[in-house]
Structure 1
Amino acid sequence: MIDVRRMQILRAVVGSGSVTAAAARLGYTPSAVSQQVATLEKEAGIALLERVGRGVRPTAAGLLLTEHAAAIGRQVAEAETALADLREGRTGRLSVRYFATVGAPLVAPALARLRRDRPGVRVELRLTGSSDPLPEVARGEADLALVVRPHEGSVDGVRLEHLLDDPYRAVLPKGHPLATRRVVDLAELADEPWVRSEWPGPCLDAVVDACAAAGFRPDFVVDSEDYATAQGFVAAGLGIGMIPLTGLRSPHPGVVVRKVRRPEPVRAVHAAVRDTAPDTPALRGLLDALRDAAVQ
């Protein structure tokens, strides 16, 4: 097998025109350079240099290896540059999972900042819907996911970093007896029919747990898969709803939105990353951008 390092020594000899000049350029002794070239000739099975006066010139085989050594040198230099770009966060690829209601307030401004600060970083963005993205993060199939969980910390090898608390609001049909109130006690909604606007999971748990603390369990009479549809059911008078503030960016004209207290249901939004994930500049930059977006 031909040694790549010796090929570069041959390239230096050919480029310098003599063993002595190449040795000075490389910081070796002339005898060490001669030995390396002799070993390379044995590996190649053919003469690589011929003497011309006080110098040397490459044979056809020597010229061939010199050309390949130059190509390898360029590829190594390109690899080193690409590695430095990746190490410094100038390039890279991130796979991100998110749920719909944090898209506009968190994900969009965070990605806009990341694109501005690190334009060479590519982001694969995927909406999770009702699926739990934590297993994907744990397996390394996603670099970061936005999730709703009660507490920050570590769960099954995934680190949760708190971004924001998203309070729920009561959504009432216009004309409802409580619509004239600015703030509604949660217990006042105990006897109402409810429109469920959440998939079973942490988001719905935040509402059900708050209702339990107020002394009742909501009577869900209509199921909905999204907040816009839920508002339509509420506007039609089929029940009242409970929707987080980030899901009320476009309230239905047929509903009123009121604060809730005693207690106020709140869902906690976290960024989830693998515990063992490398602390790359790209991932760190995205986390910083998400934190800044959360406080806007």
Structure 2
Amino acid sequence: MLDVRRMQVLRAVVTSGSITAAAANLGYTPSAVSQQVAALEKQAGIPLLARVGRGVEPTEAGRLLSEYAAVISRQVTAAETALADLRARITGVLSIRYFATAGATLVAPALARLRQEHPGLRLDLGMTDPQDPLTEVTEGRADLAVVVRPRGRTHEGVHLVHLLDDPYRAVLPAGHPLAAKRVLDLTDLAHESWVRGDGPGPCLDPVIEGCAAAGFSPNFVVESEDHTTTQGFVAAGLGIGLIPTMGLTHRHPAVVVRKVRGPEPVRVIQAAVREASSGRPALRGLLAGLRHVAQELAPAVERGLPERFR
């Protein structure tokens, strides 16, 4: 049986006119090319090249095999293209995990775009574990998770793609004395009672670390599980809170929102992609959609909240 790879080597010799030139084009040594041609001649049982001056010319058999090698090359290219087209139709299941505010502002718009392009895709959607959001990705139960993860922190088997920086804002009851200031120093809040909007984990860490940098620990008097409830407790006068900008898209009418500094706590939102799944066209499409949505959202987040929320 003729070796297809050796036929391609022969074709390179025929098209380039010499063994040396073919070796350079293929990245082989001339000796290796000569050995491949010799082995193919042995398989064919007939000479394939004839030496002419410093070069070579194909025999009739050599031209015949070279033409077939060209046909095979075109067929392989066509097969690769067909496979790429088939993969691009994207079928199967894509497993995605996210936290609440990212689900509404990032994941949903990105998925809407992905489904328009690939309607055959099935989705497995679910919330992340707030204390250990990478578990399902690392264990292969999810292909991608939108997580809060500090820059520079890596995890084996996971590729992290930065999406957005989401700064925290102070949320005060309407009529609070500090509401008269347009920008608050974090130390202004040191002696306040606080409503905690997140449980222990990556979303609470920027708040704790920011307060520590400002020289105090927040006095949490009320615990809440979501930003809407946090605003309700703040509106009732039970305390103040720090809520990330993306968690303030629906503001309670009885609270005011103010930018903070010294420092400004920020949570870093990233897409955690399972490296073993990273070659899937569906996953690449979703990641592109997430980055597109994040890029459109970033200017508004960097400015803080729209005027109607202030």
Q: Verify same fold: TM over 0.5.
A: yes
Q: Given that residues 168 and 243 in structure 2 are in contact (C-alpha distance below 8 angstroms), is that contact kept between their aligned partners in structure 1? A: yes
Q: CA deviation at 1:90?
A: 3.0
Aligned length: 217
RMSD: 2.0
Give the letter for the 2:135 counterpart: P
Give the letter for the 2:179 counterpart: A
User: Does 2:141 match 1:141?
Assistant: yes
Q: Which residue of the partner structure matches residue 202 of structure 2?
A: 202
CA distance 1:152–1:160, change in 2 (3 Å)? farther
Give the letter for the 1:214 counterpart: A
Q: CA deviation at 1:92?
A: 2.9
Give the letter for the 2:154 counterpart: S
Q: Which residue of the partner structure matches residue 161 of structure 1?
A: 161
Q: Which residue of the partner structure matches residue 70 of structure 2?
A: none
CA distance 1:102–1:259, change in 2 (3 Å)? same
Give the letter for the 1:294 counterpart: A
Q: Given that residues 152 and 162 in structure 1 are in contact (C-alpha distance below 8 angstroms), is that contact kept between their aligned partners in structure 2? A: no
Give the letter for the 1:150 counterpart: P
Q: Write the distance in 2 (CA, Å) between the matches of 1:138 and 1:118.
A: 26
Q: Which residue of the partner structure matches residue 26 of structure 1?
A: none
Q: Given that residues 100 and 129 in structure 1 are in contact (C-alpha distance below 8 angstroms), is that contact kept between their aligned partners in structure 2? A: no
Q: Write the distance in 1 (CA, Å) between the matches of 2:153 and 2:288.
A: 18
Runs in 1 of length 4+ with deviation above 4 angstroms?
82-86
Q: Write the distance in 2 (CA, Å) between the matches of 1:246 and 1:115.
A: 24
Per-residue deviation, residues 180-217 of structure 1 (Å, max 9, x unmatched):
11111101100111110011001100101011111111
Give the letter for the 2:142 counterpart: A
Give the letter for the 1:184 counterpart: L
Q: Write the distance in 1 (CA, Å) between the matches of 2:157 and 2:139.
A: 9
- Structure 2: stretches of 5+ with no match in the other structure: 1-79, 297-310
Q: Write the distance in 1 (CA, Å) between the matches of 2:278 and 2:184.
A: 46
Q: Which residue of the partner structure matches residue 45 of structure 1?
A: none
Q: CA deviation at 1:262?
A: 1.0
Give the letter for the 1:231 counterpart: Q
Q: Which residue of the partner structure matches residue 213 of structure 2?
A: 213
Where do 1:128-277 residues align within 5 Å?
A: 128=128, 130=130, 132-152=132-152, 154-277=154-277
Q: CA deviation at 1:127?
A: 2.1
Q: Given that residues 89 and 280 in structure 1 are in contact (C-alpha distance below 8 angstroms), is that contact kept between their aligned partners in structure 2? A: no
Q: Which residue of the partner structure matches residue 33 of structure 2?
A: none
Answer with 1 or 2: which has the greater Rg. Answer: 1
Give the letter for the 1:215 counterpart: G
Q: CA deviation at 1:93?
A: 1.7
Q: Given that residues 131 and 202 in structure 2 are in contact (C-alpha distance below 8 angstroms), is that contact kept between their aligned partners in structure 1? A: no
Q: Which residue of the partner structure matches residue 99 of structure 1?
A: 99
1:133 alignment partner, SS class: coil
Q: Write the distance in 2 (CA, Å) between the matches of 1:255 and 1:278.
A: 43
Q: Given that residues 152 and 270 in structure 1 are in contact (C-alpha distance below 8 angstroms), is that contact kept between their aligned partners in structure 2? A: no
Q: CA deviation at 1:178?
A: 0.7
Q: CA deviation at 1:128?
A: 2.6
Once the two structures are aligned, what percentage of the paired residues are identical? 65
2:208 alignment partner, SS class: helix
- Structure 1: stretches of 5+ with no match in the other structure: 1-79
- Taking structure 1 as the reference length, what is the TM-score of the superposition? 0.69
Q: Which residue of the partner structure matches residue 285 of structure 2?
A: 285
Bigger shift: residues 140-149 or 119-128:
119-128
Q: Write the distance in 2 (CA, Å) between the matches of 1:205 and 1:197.
A: 12
Q: Given that residues 158 and 272 in structure 2 are in contact (C-alpha distance below 8 angstroms), is that contact kept between their aligned partners in structure 1? A: yes
Q: Given that residues 86 and 92 in structure 1 are in contact (C-alpha distance below 8 angstroms), is that contact kept between their aligned partners in structure 2? A: no
